[in-house]
Amino acid sequence: MNNEEIIEYINSDLAEKMVTTVNATGERTKKQDAKTRAKKANQTSSMSKAERKKTARKAARTKKKDVAGQRKQKKKTAKAMKKRKAMGL
Protein backbone atom coordinates (compact mmCIF):
# COMPACT_ATOMS: atom_id res chain seq x y z
CA MET A 1 0.00 0.00 0.00
CA ASN A 2 1.30 3.43 -0.87
CA ASN A 3 0.53 6.64 1.01
CA GLU A 4 -2.44 7.60 -1.16
CA GLU A 5 -4.11 4.23 -0.61
CA ILE A 6 -3.57 4.50 3.15
CA ILE A 7 -5.08 7.99 3.27
CA GLU A 8 -8.03 6.85 1.17
CA TYR A 9 -8.56 3.83 3.46
CA ILE A 10 -8.53 6.03 6.58
CA ASN A 11 -10.90 8.59 5.05
CA SER A 12 -13.34 5.91 3.91
CA ASP A 13 -13.39 4.51 7.44
CA LEU A 14 -13.97 7.93 9.00
CA ALA A 15 -16.56 9.06 6.45
CA GLU A 16 -20.15 9.00 7.60
CA LYS A 17 -21.93 6.36 5.62
CA MET A 18 -24.95 7.73 3.79
CA VAL A 19 -27.89 5.47 3.02
CA THR A 20 -30.72 6.14 0.57
CA THR A 21 -34.15 5.21 1.87
CA VAL A 22 -37.40 5.06 -0.10
CA ASN A 23 -40.80 5.47 1.57
CA ALA A 24 -44.15 4.07 0.45
CA THR A 25 -44.89 7.01 -1.86
CA GLY A 26 -41.54 6.60 -3.63
CA GLU A 27 -39.79 9.62 -2.10
CA ARG A 28 -36.06 9.13 -1.73
CA THR A 29 -34.18 10.55 1.24
CA LYS A 30 -30.53 10.29 2.17
CA LYS A 31 -29.54 9.79 5.78
CA GLN A 32 -26.64 8.41 7.74
CA ASP A 33 -26.58 4.72 8.51
CA ALA A 34 -27.74 3.51 11.91
CA LYS A 35 -24.22 2.98 13.27
CA THR A 36 -23.19 6.57 12.53
CA ARG A 37 -26.42 7.98 13.97
CA ALA A 38 -25.97 5.90 17.12
CA LYS A 39 -22.43 7.24 17.59
CA LYS A 40 -23.54 10.85 17.22
CA ALA A 41 -26.71 10.57 19.32
CA ASN A 42 -26.96 12.35 22.65
CA GLN A 43 -27.50 10.20 25.72
CA THR A 44 -31.04 10.83 26.95
CA SER A 45 -30.89 8.84 30.17
CA SER A 46 -28.23 8.54 32.83
CA MET A 47 -28.03 4.76 32.37
CA SER A 48 -25.55 3.13 30.03
CA LYS A 49 -26.62 0.79 27.24
CA ALA A 50 -25.62 -2.28 29.29
CA GLU A 51 -27.62 -1.10 32.32
CA ARG A 52 -30.69 -0.47 30.14
CA LYS A 53 -30.42 -3.98 28.65
CA LYS A 54 -30.07 -5.46 32.14
CA THR A 55 -33.17 -3.60 33.34
CA ALA A 56 -35.12 -4.70 30.25
CA ARG A 57 -34.20 -8.35 30.86
CA LYS A 58 -35.31 -8.08 34.49
CA ALA A 59 -38.60 -6.48 33.41
CA ALA A 60 -39.21 -9.29 30.91
CA ARG A 61 -38.61 -11.93 33.59
CA THR A 62 -40.94 -10.14 36.00
CA LYS A 63 -43.59 -9.86 33.31
CA LYS A 64 -43.35 -13.60 32.61
CA LYS A 65 -43.93 -14.38 36.27
CA ASP A 66 -47.18 -12.37 36.42
CA VAL A 67 -49.06 -15.06 38.34
CA ALA A 68 -51.92 -12.78 39.36
CA GLY A 69 -52.52 -11.84 35.73
CA GLN A 70 -52.53 -15.49 34.68
CA ARG A 71 -55.01 -16.33 37.45
CA LYS A 72 -57.30 -13.51 36.32
CA GLN A 73 -57.02 -14.66 32.70
CA LYS A 74 -57.89 -18.24 33.71
CA LYS A 75 -61.00 -17.04 35.57
CA LYS A 76 -62.15 -14.93 32.62
CA THR A 77 -61.65 -17.83 30.21
CA ALA A 78 -63.64 -20.17 32.49
CA LYS A 79 -66.44 -17.62 32.76
CA ALA A 80 -66.53 -17.12 28.98
CA MET A 81 -66.58 -20.88 28.36
CA LYS A 82 -69.44 -21.28 30.86
CA LYS A 83 -71.41 -18.60 28.99
CA ARG A 84 -70.70 -20.27 25.65
CA LYS A 85 -71.89 -23.62 27.04
CA ALA A 86 -75.08 -21.99 28.32
CA MET A 87 -75.70 -20.48 24.88
CA GLY A 88 -75.13 -23.84 23.25
CA LEU A 89 -72.03 -22.89 21.31
DSSP per-residue codes, 2-60: -HHHHHHHHHHHHSPPEEEEE-TT--EEEEE-HHHHHHHPPP-SSS-HHHHHHHHHHHH
Same structural domain for residues 30 and 50?
A: no
Same structural domain for residues 52 and 20?
A: no
Same structural domain for residues 21 and 46?
A: no
Amino acid making up residue 35:
K
The SS3 of residue 89 is coil
Q: How far apart are CA 54 and CA 48, in angstroms?
A: 10
Task: Supply the pLDDT for residue 48.
Answer: 85
Same structural domain for residues 6 and 32?
A: yes
Same structural domain for residues 85 and 59?
A: yes
Same structural domain for residues 53 and 80?
A: yes
The number of distinct structural domains making up the chain is 2
For residue 65, the 8-state DSSP code is T
Q: Structure pTM? A: 0.34
Residue range of the domain that includes 26: 1-41
Q: 25-71, pLDDT tens digit by residue?
A: 889 999 988 888 887 888 777 888 899 899 999 998 888 887 888 88
